[in-house]
Structure 1
Amino acid sequence: MAGLDPLIHAPTRLQLVTTLSAVSEAEFATVRAALDVSDSVLSKHVSALVEAGYLHSRKGVHAGRRTTWIGLTPAGRKALHEHVAALRRVIDAVE
């Protein structure tokens, strides 16, 4: 269906972008715990979404340890809003 974004349609990626939509950015470990996935699974999804321009990633120090922060880019927010609108159209067609 038009408007569904195959890049963010996968359940884990959809959870990832919706989780990040509520904040400017979040610590990698916090997102990993919220999604209940491994480091490698989250890293794979983050890399694909960074490559697509939907997420940004930066390294930093938090509480004395190195960490990675991730957040949605404007393009990622737009893609999420368009995907949700397309999902609503699909749901509305069920009746």
Structure 2
Amino acid sequence: MAADSEVPAAGADAPAALDPVIHAPARLRIMASLAGLADGDTIKFPRLQKVLGMTGGNLITHIRKLEGAGYVRSEKAGRTTTLSLTDSGRAAFHAYRQSLRDLLGSD
């Protein structure tokens, strides 16, 4: 085990905290999938459900949490729901990825 003097102290050099809204495994997978879309593109709910292998109820629960944070936009037209990242969602995912890189550091 490392000595206490080797553990970095919290402060200016400490990595930013990971966004807890994104950090939940299912929501992280949703955000990563939506971030893979080109800016302005959407994906239909059933397609995302199939890609992620999630039940409809589980997926909608996590989508609602992401919508509540302003990260995901859902649009319903008739019986079709499409999903995309908002600009703030794209920025939050970018910040999350950077925080994770900072946390992991480099060897």
What TM-score bracket applies, with the shorter chain setting the length?
0.7 to 0.9
Moved over 3 A (4+): none
Query: Residue 75 of structure 2: SS of its match in structure 1?
Result: strand
Residues 82 and 3 of structure 1: CA distance in aligned 2, closer, same or farther (over 3 Å): farther
Q: Deviations over 1:14-45 (max 9, x none)?
A: 11011001222100001111111100000000
Pair 1:53 & 2:76 matched:
no
Residue in 2 aligned with 1:33? 50
The root-mean-square deviation of aligned C-alpha atoms, in Å, is 1.3
Deviation at 1:84, TM superposition (A): 0.3
Distance 1:89 1:82 in 2: 10
Pair 1:15 & 2:32 matched:
no
Query: Residue 29 of structure 2: SS of its match in structure 1?
Result: helix
TM-score for the superposition, normalised by structure 2: 0.78
Check whether the contact 1:21–1:77 (CA below 8 A) recurs between aligned residues. Answer: yes
Alignment length (residue pairs): 90
- Sequence identity percentage: 36
Task: Judging by fraction of residues, say which structure has more strand.
Answer: 1
Distance 1:51 1:10 in 2: 15
Instruction: Mark the runs of 5 or more structure 1 residues left unpaired by the alignment.
Output: none
Residue in 2 aligned with 1:4? 18
Relative contact order, CA 8 A, sep 6+: which one is greater? 1
Pair 1:78 & 2:91 matched:
yes
Which structure has the larger Rg?
2
TM-score for the superposition, normalised by structure 1: 0.88
